[in-house]
Amino acid sequence: MNVRHEPENSRFVVEVGDDLALLEYSSFDDETLEYSHTFVPPALRGQGIASHLTEHALQYALDNELAVIPSCPFVAAFIQSNPKYRKLVKR
């Protein structure tokens, strides 16, 4: 599954046919991204796409030494289930 980062649109996307799944973010400050929304079209749900997008986005933050504000409930739950990403959460 190929995740594409679109910094000009502040999102990570997975394209499957004509459908687009996404994780949207905004820059909170120079060192922090706020992951605000994930969306997977109904036809693509149940395939782990949201988890794949979230893991990719969190790995991006980790690789770029950025903190994360997980205001999206899915992202927050994913972090709770994957302890290696907890250190990214801005306190």
User: How many structural domains comprise the chain?
Assistant: 1
| Residue 72: pLDDT band with limits 50, 70, 90 | very high
**C-alpha angle 68-79-3 in degrees, rounded to nearest 5:** 75
**Which of 53, 66, 72, 75 does the annotation list as catalytic?**
72
**Residue 11 contacts residue 3 (beta carbons within 8 Å):** no
| Residue 51: pLDDT band with limits 50, 70, 90 | very high
Of 43, 36, 8, 34, give the one whose Cα is nearest residue 22: 36
CATH code for position 12: 3.40.630.30
Domain residue limits at 9: 4-88
Most distant pair of Cα atoms in the chain: their distance: 39
**72 tagged catalytic:** yes
| Residue 91: pLDDT band with limits 50, 70, 90 | confident
